[in-house]
């Protein structure tokens, strides 16, 4: 018998927790379920948006935090992408643009996924995506006109 899983909650390391919480909560729309210690300037936070969960952890607790992130370490964040199921990718784009996020418009990948990519403050990639039924979805060219 296979494992019976009830979800997944990845943990990513962030440099500045208040900045990360402001992005995920105030821009993307996650709620802070729990944090330690309580408040935005914490060392660990558990976030939820509908069925999506995410944990954030600081690499260094406040007394040991360097003045700036390690560029070599942050460069490695580009290799990580969190994919979120999002039925209306185009509406997500409009929402995020309205929140001041700069990104390219969504595109439909050759394998049939409508995708919107954005980077968080630590350089992690986020992809909001949903499968497209080619028979009733306009192409990228038709959406641009």
Per-residue pLDDT tens, the chain, 145 aa: give them.
Answer: 899 998 999 999 999 999 999 999 999 999 999 999 999 999 999 999 999 999 999 988 878 888 888 888 888 888 999 999 999 999 999 999 999 999 999 999 999 999 999 999 999 999 999 999 844 444 454 444 3
What is the pLDDT at residue 123?
94
Cβ of 47: how many Cβ atoms within 10 Å? Answer: 22
78 burial via Cβ count (<10 Å: 0-12, 13-18, 19+): exposed
Q: Which pLDDT value is given to residue 1?
A: 86
CATH topology of domain 11-144: 2,3-Dihydroxybiphenyl 1,2-Dioxygenase; domain 1 (3.10.180)
């Amino acid at each position: 018998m296979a494992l019976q899983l009830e979800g997944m909650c990845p943990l990513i390391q962030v440099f500045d927790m208040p900045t990360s919480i402001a992005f995920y909560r105030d821009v993307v729309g996650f709620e802070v379920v729990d944090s330690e210690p309580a408040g935005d300037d914490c060392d660990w936070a558990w976030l939820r948006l509908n069925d999506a969960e995410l944990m954030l952890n600081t690499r260094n607790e406040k007394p040991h935090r360097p003045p700036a992130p390690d560029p070599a370490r942050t460069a490695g964040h580009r290799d990580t992408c969190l994919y979120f199921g999002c039925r209306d990718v185009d509406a997500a784009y409009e929402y995020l643009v309205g929140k001041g996020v700069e990104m390219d418009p969504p595109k439909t990948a050759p394998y049939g996924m409508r995708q919107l990519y954005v980077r968080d403050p630590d350089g992690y990639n986020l992809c909001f995506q949903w499968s497209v039924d080619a028979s009733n979805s306009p192409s990228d060219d038709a959406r641009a006109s």
